[in-house]
């Protein structure tokens, strides 16, 4: 029960921040090539840096144990590419479609259905053999059977490497930013109070990144306390929810747990509720749907995302937001593949038609 409540709490905070920061990795990556826009990519980078420092200090003080995902290069690459292409069709990354469902966007709800369905099919259904095959046959571990990280391939300590690397990147970034100061323009009315800035207006990239990084830290702390020991995740949460709903009886019988809903599943419910609250307060909630053809497109996108994420052992959150700060090579390979898949699909769907 405490696991459910703590997952729910983290989810509500995360959903609120996602909605306010308009934090979507599909947009973050796609906008780089589509519009030369780096706003969301900067928010993501800040979040990862905050987590690198936070996770490192939390691991040094012994409150958490770092848990980088193992490298399964074939699964990471193929799954990442499929996931990345899927999220462009779905109009949002795994966290993006989750929080947008809370904003009332029907396209996102449909994408989630596809995502959960294909995720479950790949985690315990008809597609599982494909995922198993690629994961088992391309798994590479260290000599003492640990997950490969950017630290241990060079024989370095993970916690210290994370901390040093993060500080190094921040210093370089600060120097570069001070050199070419470009004033950021804002449009529309300026917020009149702090309350309005937080609850009514979209957040800038810097506060968005910091807040999401801090929530990532809280997620690691609370999920470790609940026995899960990993930061934020999305894919596992949706498959858990679907599993609980559809196979409740089998899950209850096979596990010695009071509830079939786990920490990550509760986190997902929290994200939708948090985003719903944020959208309602800001007056941004409305049930709205795109045309039927696009609805079908988002469903197909969701299916690809579900298969890709389970095959790759992580979505944009599990790999990029939670795995990259822990310097997991599997997550870095998975993350780069997600970006590559996103760019390939964005090229065919948007860039080529736009220049035609």
Partner 1 sequence: MTDQITPTKTIDERGKICPYPDVDTMTTLKKMKKGEILEVLVDYPLSVERIPRSAQKSGHKVLKVQQLDGPNHSILIEALGLK
- Where does this chain bind partner 1 (CB under 8 A)? 19, 22, 24, 26-27, 30-31, 34-37, 39, 91-92, 96, 103, 105, 107-108, 185, 187-188, 202, 279, 282-286, 288-290, 294, 298, 350, 354
Q: How far is the CB of 183 from partner 1 (least distance, A)?
A: 12
Cβ 140 vs Cβ 148: under 8 Å = yes
Q: How far is the CB of 30 from partner 1 (least distance, A)?
A: 7
What contacts 124, CB < 8 A, 6 or more positions away? Answer: 243
Cβ 306 vs Cβ 119: under 8 Å = yes
Q: How far is the CB of 187 from partner 1 (least distance, A)?
A: 4
Report how far residue 352's alpha carbon sits from residue 356's, in angstroms, rounded to the nearest whole number. Answer: 6
Question: Which residue, 302 or 314, has its beta carbon nearer to partner 1?
Answer: 302
Question: Which residue, 43 or 134, has its beta carbon nearer to partner 1?
Answer: 43
Q: How far is the CB of 335 from partner 1 (least distance, A)?
A: 20
What contacts 300, CB < 8 A, 6 or more positions away? Answer: 86, 89, 114
Question: Which residue, 201 or 247, has its beta carbon nearer to partner 1?
Answer: 201
Question: Which residue, 167 or 294, has its beta carbon nearer to partner 1?
Answer: 294
Q: How far is the CB of 41 from partner 1 (least distance, A)?
A: 13
Q: How far is the CB of 293 from partner 1 (least distance, A)?
A: 11
Q: How far is the CB of 234 from partner 1 (least distance, A)?
A: 17
Q: How far is the CB of 298 from partner 1 (least distance, A)?
A: 6
Question: Which residue, 36 or 181, has its beta carbon nearer to partner 1?
Answer: 36
Question: Which residue, 139 or 347, has its beta carbon nearer to partner 1?
Answer: 347
Question: Which residue, 225 or 282, has its beta carbon nearer to partner 1?
Answer: 282
Question: Which residue, 93 or 329, has its beta carbon nearer to partner 1?
Answer: 93
């Amino acid at each position: 029960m405490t696991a459910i409540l703590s997952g729910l709490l983290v989810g509500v905070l995360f959903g609120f921040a996602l909605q306010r920061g308009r934090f979507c990795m599909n947009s973050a990556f796609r906008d780089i090539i589509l519009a030369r826009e780096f706003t969301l990519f900067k928010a993501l980078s800040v979040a990862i840096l905050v987590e690198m420092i936070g996770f490192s200090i939390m691991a040094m003080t012994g409150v958490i144990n770092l848990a980088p995902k193992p490298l399964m290069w074939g699964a990471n690459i193929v799954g990442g590419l499929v996931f990345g292409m899927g999220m462009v069709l779905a109009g949002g990354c795994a966290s993006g479609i989750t929080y947008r469902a809370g904003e009332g966007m029907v396209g996102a709800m449909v994408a989630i259905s596809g995502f959960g369905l294909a995720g479950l099919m790949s985690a315990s259904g008809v597609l599982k053999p494909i995922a198993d095959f690629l994961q088992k046959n391309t798994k590479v571990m260290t000599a003492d059977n640990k997950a490969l990280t950017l630290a241990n391939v060079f024989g370095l300590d993970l916690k210290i490497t994370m901390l040093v690397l993060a500080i190094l990147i921040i210093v370089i970034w600060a120097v570069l930013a001070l050199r070419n100061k470009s004033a950021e323009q804002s449009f529309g009315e300026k917020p009149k109070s702090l309350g309005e800035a937080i609850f009514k207006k979209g957040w800038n990239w810097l506060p968005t990144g910091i807040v999401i990084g801090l929530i990532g830290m809280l997620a690691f702390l609370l999920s470790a306390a609940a026995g899960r020991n990993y930061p934020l995740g999305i894919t596992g949460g949706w498959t858990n929810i679907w599993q609980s709903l559809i196979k409740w009886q089998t899950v209850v019988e096979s596990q010695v747990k009071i509830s079939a809903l786990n920490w990550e599943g509760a986190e997902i419910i929290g994200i939708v509720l948090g985003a719903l609250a944020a959208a309602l307060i800001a007056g941004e909630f409305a049930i709205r749907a795109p045309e039927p053809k696009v609805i079908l497109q988002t469903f197909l996108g969701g299916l690809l995302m579900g298969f890709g994420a389970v095959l790759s052992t992580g979505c944009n959150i599990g790999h990029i937001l939670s795995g990259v700060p822990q310097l997991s090579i599997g997550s870095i390979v998975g993350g780069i593949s997600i970006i590559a898949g996103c760019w390939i699909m964005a090229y065919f769907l948007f860039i080529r038609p736009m220049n035609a």
